[in-house]
Amino acid sequence: MFTSVLIILCGVFGVETDVMKKVFVTEGDDVTLHTGVSIMKDDVQILWMFGRKNPDTLIAEIYKLKIYIFDGHVSVMKGKLQMDSQTGSLIIRNISSVHSGLYKAQIINTTTKYRRFNFTVYAPVSLPVIASSSVVSVCQTSDCQKYPASCIDPDESFSCEVCAVMCSADNGADVSLSWFKNNERLNQTSSPDRNISLSLSLEIQERNNNTYYCVAANPVNNLTTQLNFQEHCPQHTS
């Protein structure tokens, strides 16, 4: 009698649901989803479920220390899954965007716990490319305004041509493209249209010692290309 009351109480109060954990990963990575269990015991059972919108399909299980992989239940999981026999954590090899979705571990012991993951897989960003623009305009600095006709000072120690460059990178999910001057972001662009590449222009009025760089970034990685004055602003390196 006492035992059955205890079981009922556990059934009611023993369910722990954690907050859904957001996981951002890069395509091609091997990813481990942790159960939080430090060492599996004989009488602990763990069920791993997956679904794009709802984690309702069983993909792996560990019970009495035996591992069962049901990667046939979801075709995109075929050959991708492993389980850590010590912790019951799920390992997904060489992940790609088809593995985005919701994952749930049901950890059944004297009580039942859940671990839930919302998983978004991003492609690596492309390296930004900087190109000199053919558009030539004249800068507005005080030095240049002294010589409006030629826009070249008599000693030719500087040029008043604005250095105009364009940075471009492939678009993708949540990709943004930015220009930085030293650590300061000058400008940023992004577009929901994945079919066009992103581009962002920059004009530098006169030669200076700042470092300019263009960064393509998504939530999981970023790549940087630095402006090279010799190459991109020859008018500023005479």
The count of chain residues that interact with ligand NAG, using the rule CB under 6 A, is 24
The nearest distance, CB 93 to ligand NAG, in angstroms, is 7
Token pair, residue 120, equals 């978004």
86 is a contact residue toward ligand NAG (CB under 6 A): no
The nearest distance, CB 73 to ligand NAG, in angstroms, is 19
Residue span binding ligand NAG (CB under 6 A) among the ranges 62-70, 130-138, 156-164, 188-196: 188-196
Token pair, residue 234, equals 């020859």
Largest pairwise CA distance in the chain? 103
The residue assigned the tokens 């500023």 is 236
Token pair, residue 66, equals 């035996």
Contacts of 237 by beta carbon, 8 Å cutoff, 6+ apart = 207, 229, 230
Closer CB to ligand NAG, residue 155 or residue 193? Answer: 193
Token pair, residue 153, equals 């000072």
According to CB under 6 A, which residues from 210 to 229 bind ligand NAG?
215, 217, 222
According to CB under 6 A, which residues from 189 to 208 bind ligand NAG?
189, 193, 195, 200-201, 208
The nearest distance, CB 209 to ligand NAG, in angstroms, is 4
Given 32, 85, 86, 110, the residue binding ligand NAG (CB under 6 A):
110
Closer CB to ligand NAG, residue 59 or residue 202? Answer: 202
Q: How many helices (H) and strands (E) does the chain have?
A: 3, 17
Q: Are 163 and 236 in contact (CB under 8 A)?
A: yes
Closer CB to ligand NAG, residue 69 or residue 158? Answer: 158
Give CA torsion, residues 148, 131, 194, 99, to 10 deg. -140
Token pair, residue 10, equals 């556990």
Give phi and psi for 101, each to the nearest 5.
150, -160
According to CB under 6 A, which residues from 24 to 53 bind ligand NAG?
28, 37, 41, 44
**Residues in the site for ligand NAG, rule: CB under 6 A?**
20, 28, 37, 41, 44, 94, 96, 102, 109-110, 118, 120, 186-187, 189, 193, 195, 200-201, 208-209, 215, 217, 222
